[in-house]
C-alpha cells in the first residue's frame, strides 16, 4: 500500500523507538521517585525536555509534555485564557472558523462555561488568516488569539510572526497550533506565546506531544494531582515517549529544509497531473506554492463522490483521505471547506493527499497514475 495520509499520522521512526526502549525496560522508574531508579528516569525526562526546548528555540522551563496536540491546544487555550480572566482581564478570545476541533471546542467551552466572548477572524477563500483580518476583530480587551500555523485540511500556512505582532499590539497573547507545521516549517522564534505539537505527526508514537508556554506565563492547569510538569500538568510523565518525541523532533528539524524543498517539488508535480484528470477539479487552499504546506495537496472534484474516489484509490493501493482524521465518519461536509466558501455538496467531493518524509518521486508518480485511472476510468 502507498500511504499518502501523513497529515493524519506518520510511522514511528526506528530511531525514536530505539531511544525510547531503555525507558520501557531497564530505566523504568517513576521520575518523581527519590531513589536511583527514579532519578535515572528523571534524568532522561530532563534531557528530553532540554532537546525539545532547543528544537523550539525556547527555555527548558517553557516545555510541558502532553498526550498530544488535542491536550496541548486545550491546555494552552483554556489555561492561558482562564489565568488571564483570573487576573482581571476581560473575557474575549479570537480564533478562526477553520481551526481544528480541539481549538474550536476549547474556545466554545470558554464561551459556554466561563462567559467568554469570541470573535472569528476571516480566513479568506484560500484559508489564510492575514494580519489585517486578525486586526479587524481584535479589541483592547482581547486576552488570547489562537490561530493555526498550518491548516490541516487545506494546507494554508499562516505568517505567525506577523500575527503575533498584531496580537501583541493590543496586549493579547497568541497561541498557534503547530501540529501540522512540525517537521515541515520553521518552529524556532515564530513569535507565538504558546505553541503546540503532536509526536505522531513527525515520527514519534501516538500519545505524546508538547506545549510550549513562553516565559512562565500564568497558566491554569487542566489536570490536577501530583503537580508534575512544574504544577502545570499533573500525572506521572511518559518518559519513554518524551524521549521518542525529542528524538523524532530533532531528526525532523535536521532534515526539514531539504525535505521541504523535495516534497514541495513532488507536491507541485502531483497537483498538475491530478487537476488535468477531471474537468472542473480545483485545488483547495492557497494556489501560491509558498503559502501552502510543502507536503499538502487537497482537491474538490465536482460531480464525483470524494468517498468513492478514496475507495477506488485504495483498491489500486493508494491510501489518502477526505480531510481531518478527527472528523472521519461524519456525514457532514468539512467545516473548513464550507467556511472558505465552498458549497456543501462540492465540499463532500474533497480528497486530501499529504506526503511524508519517506515519500519518493516514484510514489508520487504511482499515486498520480492511480488518480488518472480512477478519474478517467
Q: Give the tens place of pLDDT for each residue, 204-245.
A: 999 999 999 998 899 999 999 999 999 999 999 999 999 999
DSSP code, position 290 = G
For range 238-263, the mean pLDDT: 98
Q: Report the pLDDT value the prediction gives residue 215, as an integer from 0 to 100.
A: 87
- Percent of the chain's residues with pLDDT above 90: 94
For residues 109 and 374, what is the distance between their CA atoms, to the nearest angstrom? 43
Average pLDDT, the chain: 96
SS3 198: strand
Choice among 182-191, 311-320, 327-336 with the minimum mean pLDDT = 327-336
Joined grid coordinates for residue 10 = 506518520
Closest CA to 199 of 356, 9, 358, 50: 9
Instruction: Band the pLDDT of 90: cuts 50, 70, 90.
Output: confident
Q: Report the pLDDT value the prediction gives residue 128, as an integer from 0 to 100.
A: 98
Joined grid coordinates for residue 226 = 501530583
Q: Is the pLDDT of residue 329 over 60?
A: no
Over residues 95-123, the pLDDT tens digits come to: 999 999 999 999 999 999 999 999 999 99
Instruction: Band the pLDDT of 332: cuts 50, 70, 90.
Output: confident
Choice among 76-80, 160-164, 185-189, 369-373 with the minimum mean pLDDT = 185-189
For residues 186 and 203, what is the distance between their CA atoms, to the nearest angstrom? 17
Q: Which residues are catalytic?
A: 326
- Percent of the chain's residues with pLDDT above 70: 98
Q: Which domains does the chain have, with CATH numbers?
A: 2-8+256-376 (3.90.1150.10), 14-251 (3.40.640.10)
Instruction: Band the pLDDT of 324: cuts 50, 70, 90.
Output: low
Q: Is the pLDDT of residue 326 over 60?
A: no
Q: Report the pLDDT value the prediction gives residue 377, as an integer from 0 to 100.
A: 74
Q: Judge contact between 186 and 55, C-beta under 8 A.
A: no
pTM of the full predicted structure? 0.96
Q: Report the pLDDT value the prediction gives residue 190, as an integer from 0 to 100.
A: 85
Closest CA to 155 of 130, 134, 180: 180
For residues 279 and 267, what is the distance between their CA atoms, to the nearest angstrom? 20
For range 249-276, the mean pLDDT: 97
Q: Judge contact between 119 and 170, C-beta under 8 A.
A: no
Q: Is the pLDDT of residue 330 over 70?
A: no
Report the DSSP pairing between strands 318-319 and 2-3: parallel
Choice among 90-94, 109-113, 369-373 with the minimum mean pLDDT = 90-94
SS3 13: coil
Over residues 268-285, the pLDDT tens digits come to: 999 999 999 989 999 999
For range 318-336, the mean pLDDT: 77
Instruction: Band the pLDDT of 327: cuts 50, 70, 90.
Output: low
Amino acid at each position: 500500500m502507498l500511504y499518502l495520509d501523513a497529515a493524519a499520522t506518520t510511522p514511528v521512526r526506528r530511531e525514536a523507538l530505539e531511544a525510547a526502549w531503555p525507558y520501557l525496560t531497564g530505566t523504568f522508574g517513576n521520575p518523581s521517585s527519590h531513589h536511583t531508579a527514579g532519578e535515572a528516569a528523571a534524568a532522561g525526562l530532563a534531557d528530553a525536555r532540554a532537546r525539545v526546548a532547543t528544537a523550539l528555540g525556547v527555555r527548558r522551563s517553557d516545555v510541558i509534555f502532553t498526550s498530544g496536540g488535542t491536550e496541548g491546544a486545550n491546555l494552552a487555550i483554556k489555561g492561558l485564557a482562564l489565568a488571564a480572566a483570573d487576573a482581571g482581564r476581560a473575557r474575549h478570545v479570537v480564533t478562526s472558523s477553520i481551526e481544528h476541533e480541539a481549538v474550536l471546542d476549547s474556545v466554545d467551552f470558554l464561551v459556554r462555561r466561563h462567559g467568554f466572548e469570541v470573535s472569528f477572524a476571516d480566513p479568506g477563500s484560500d484559508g489564510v488568516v492575514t494580519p489585517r483580518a486578525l486586526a479587524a476583530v481584535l479589541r483592547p480587551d482581547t486576552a488570547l488569539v489562537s490561530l493555526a500555523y498550518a491548516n490541516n485540511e487545506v494546507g494554508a500556512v499562516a505568517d505567525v510572526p506577523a500575527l503575533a505582532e498584531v496580537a501583541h499590539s493590543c496586549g493579547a497573547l497568541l497561541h498557534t497550533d503547530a501540529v501540522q507545521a512540525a517537521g515541515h516549517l520553521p518552529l524556532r522564534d515564530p513569535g507565538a506565546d504558546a505553541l503546540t505539537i503532536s509526536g505522531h505527526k513527525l515520527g514519534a508514537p501516538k500519545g505524546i506531544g508538547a506545549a510550549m508556554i513562553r516565559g512562565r506565563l500564568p497558566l491554569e492547569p487542566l489536570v490536577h494531582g501530583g503537580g508534575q510538569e512544574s504544577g502545570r500538568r499533573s500525572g506521572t510523565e511518559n518518559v519513554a515517549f518524551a524521549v521518542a518525541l525529542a528524538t523524532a523532533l530533532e531528526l525532523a528539524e535536521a532534515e526539514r529544509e531539504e525535505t521541504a524543498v523535495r516534497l514541495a517539488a513532488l507536491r507541485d508535480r502531483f497537483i498538475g497531473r491530478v487537476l488535468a484528470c477531471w474537468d472542473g477539479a480545483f485545488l483547495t487552499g492557497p494556489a501560491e506554492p509558498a503559502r501552502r504546506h510543502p507536503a499538502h495537496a487537497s482537491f474538490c472534484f465536482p460531480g464525483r463522490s470524494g468517498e468513492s474516489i478514496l475507495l477506488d484509490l485504495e483498491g489500486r493501493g493508494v491510501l489518502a483521505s477526505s480531510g481531518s482524521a478527527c472528523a472521519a465518519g461524519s456525514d457532514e461536509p468539512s467545516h473548513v471547506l464550507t467556511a472558505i466558501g465552498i458549497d456543501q455538496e462540492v465540499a463532500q467531493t474533497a480528497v486530501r493527499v499529504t506526503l511524508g518524509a519517506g515519500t519518493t518521486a516514484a510514489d508520487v508518480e504511482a499515486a498520480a497514475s492511480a488518480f488518472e485511472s480512477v478519474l478517467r476510468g
